[in-house]
């Protein structure tokens, strides 16, 4: 007998978005997993990057689907028109920006993350909360940071810088900035100090925090692209004399252009003497700490009041996963804590978890991204990661030597860590012509699918920039890079190779 509602109308059929046939989903899932493993296993056989053909682009001009096509047919479109055209950062010869590669075992973590669909609240007493807290403790131990520090996983270094600098702003303001706002009358302008090589996310953070660009002092760098500490001291002194409030020094642990590492012990001493906050942007450089051979390069990391870094760069975690650590956990919590009744913790039940992550950042809903890094560390062990990081550093040194030994190539910056900057040089070409030539070399390398460095400008010169955070790269890949840079340059200039 049909069920009816109180007004004697038939009760509507209730549905969910679960499949009507679970066996079909199981078959598709096995096929997808096999395809993804094949894709990773054969990545070296494909171009580093290739442009989307018109046949693929047509998919993205189709109208909004009113009726569904079914998961199997949609996957076919993904496999044919989306999967073959990535950024390329999982390829062994991708060295653009500071692109992390991820690891195959994290495919399993991703399936679990999607299945659980955890909200990452922290005050929920669930496994995902404890995984994240354990990961944060591991990260503090790995980096030599105090165990009592607070921490938060975020989307990446840009958000980690924003959170760390927000804590610095509130802690150093000298008044209740949450209550009065930054425009409190009569208060001196806070000043944050960073080198000219600092990542653009710092400027964005200063602007978003309402401080304005006039609160960011750009300090010049030395020949090795590290901050000029003498100029920093002079800037702090001058700002005090002019009635400003020096608040924070921002140290770079691996600048985005060259991988330069600011002298952290010296900056920590200056910050201590001047009673300033020290924030370290260690987006990719932090994990040099894991390598016994290279750990000394980042001495002083543990002295930073706040520390921003990415796991999806040099810890080879799938995107996206960044982190901020803050020594003064009370200052961290006081910067963000807002606890309405609907997210109040209880003594028992689902809402009896250990802490509320939203009290340490902006987000309330957060994905279970911690599982990727947690699984990677549990599967491989921290020693394996240390070896991989040191391998990347040695590969940078190897490429450095290849460039220095080649008469047609010029090194444009010291190789401080894992980034190599160089260009092709040809007699008779001025700076502008060399810039145009090297830009054309770069685009040709990418368009032919040979390799994907990126570029920057150093001392007014266009540079081919090779950032090595790739666990799949081998020395032979850097031989291929150099050979093809020279071959393409000769092709473009009509130069005949000497015999």
Q: Is the pLDDT of residue 499 over 50?
A: no
Task: Specify the pLDDT at position 450.
Answer: 98
The percent of residues in the chain predicted with pLDDT above 70, rounded, is 98
The residues spanned by each domain of the chain are 21-49+86-104+381-499, 118-380
pLDDT band with cut points at 50, 70 and 90 for residue 123: confident
Burial environment of residue 355 by CB neighbours within 10 A (0 to 12, 13 to 18, 19 or more): middle
Closest Cα to residue 174, out of 187, 191, 192?
187
Task: Specify the pLDDT at position 184.
Answer: 77
Distance CA 92, CA 478 (A): 10
Query: In the predicted model, what is the mean pLDDT of residues 437-456?
Result: 97
Q: Does the domain made of 118-380 have the CATH classification 3.40.50.970?
A: no
SS3 content of the chain, % helix, strand, coil (to 5): 45, 15, 40
Task: Specify the pLDDT at position 495.
Answer: 63
Task: Specify the pLDDT at position 449.
Answer: 96
The percent of residues in the chain predicted with pLDDT above 90, rounded, is 89
Across the beta sheet with 150-154, the strand order is 150-154, 322-326, 306-310, 277-281, 245-252, 190-195, 216-219
**What does CATH list as the number for 21-49+86-104+381-499?**
3.90.1150.170
Task: Specify the pLDDT at position 353.
Answer: 87
pTM, 2 dp: 0.94
Query: In the predicted model, what is the mean pLDDT of residues 173-199?
Result: 92
Distance CA 181, CA 160 (A): 22
Q: Do domains 21-49+86-104+381-499 and 118-380 have the same CATH topology?
A: no
Output phi, psi for 220, to 5 deg.
-65, 165
Query: In the predicted model, what is the mean pLDDT of residues 319-334?
Result: 97
Task: Specify the pLDDT at position 6.
Answer: 64
* Beta-bridge mates of residue 154: 322
Query: Which DSSP string corresponds to 454-471?
Result: EEEEETTEEEEEEE---T
Task: Specify the pLDDT at position 149.
Answer: 98
């Amino acid at each position: 007998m049909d069920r009816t509602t109180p007004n004697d109308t038939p009760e509507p059929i209730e549905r969910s978005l679960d499949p009507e046939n679970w066996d079909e989903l199981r078959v598709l899932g096995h096929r997808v997993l096999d395809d993804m493993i094949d894709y990773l296993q054969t990545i070296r056989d494909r171009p580093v990057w290739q442009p989307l053909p018109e046949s693929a682009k047509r998919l993205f001009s189709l109208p909004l689907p009113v009726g569904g096509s079914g998961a199997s047919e949609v996957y076919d479109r993904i496999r044919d028109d989306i999967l073959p055209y990535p950024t390329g950062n999982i390829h062994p010869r991708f060295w653009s920006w500071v692109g992390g590669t991820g690891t195959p075992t994290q495919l399993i973590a991703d399936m679990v993350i999607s299945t659980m669909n955890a909200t990452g609240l922290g005050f929920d007493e669930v496994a995902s909360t404890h995984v994240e807290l354990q990961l944060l403790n591991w990260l503090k131990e790995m980096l030599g940071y105090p165990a009592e520090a607070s921490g938060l996983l975020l989307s990446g270094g840009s958000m980690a810088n924003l959170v760390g600098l927000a804590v610095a702003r509130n802690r150093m303001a000298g008044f209740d900035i949450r209550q009065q706002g930054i425009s409190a009358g009569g208060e001196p302008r806070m000043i944050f100090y960073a080198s000219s090589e600092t990542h653009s996310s710092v400027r964005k953070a200063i602007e978003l925090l309402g401080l304005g660009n006039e609160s960011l002092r750009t300090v010049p760098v030395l020949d090795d692209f590290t901050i000029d500490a003498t100029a920093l001291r002079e800037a702090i002194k001058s700002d005090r004399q002019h009635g400003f409030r020096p608040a924070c020094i921002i140290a770079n642990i691996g600048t985005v252009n060259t991988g330069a590492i600011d002298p952290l012990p010296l900056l920590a001493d200056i910050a201590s003497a001047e009673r300033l906050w020290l924030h370290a942007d260690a987006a990719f450089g932090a994990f040099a700490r894991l390598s016994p051979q290279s750990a000394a390069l980042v001495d002083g990391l543990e002295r930073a009041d706040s520390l921003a870094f990415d796991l999806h760069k040099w810890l080879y975690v799938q995107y996206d996963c960044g982190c901020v650590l803050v020594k003064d956990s009370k200052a961290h919590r006081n910067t963000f804590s807002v606890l309405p009744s609907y997210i109040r913790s209880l003594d028992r039940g689902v809402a009896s978890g250990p802490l509320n992550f939203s009290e340490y950042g902006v987000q309330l809903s957060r994905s279970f991204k911690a599982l990727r890094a947690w699984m990677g560390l549990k599967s491989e062990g921290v020693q394996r990661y240390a070896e991989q990081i040191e391998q990347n550093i040695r590969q940078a040194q190897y490429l450095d030597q290849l460039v220095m030994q080649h008469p047609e190539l010029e090194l444009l910056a010291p190789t401080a860590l894992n980034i190599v900057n160089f260009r092709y040089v040809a007699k008779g070409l001025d700076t502008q012509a060399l810039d145009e030539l090297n830009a054309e070399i770069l685009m040709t390398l990418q368009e032919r699918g040979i390799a994907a460095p990126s570029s920057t400008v150093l001392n007014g010169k266009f540079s081919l920039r090779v950032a090595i955070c790739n666990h799949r790269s081998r020395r032979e890949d850097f031989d291929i890079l150099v050979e093809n840079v020279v071959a393409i340059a000769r092709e473009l200039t009509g130069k005949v190779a000497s015999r």
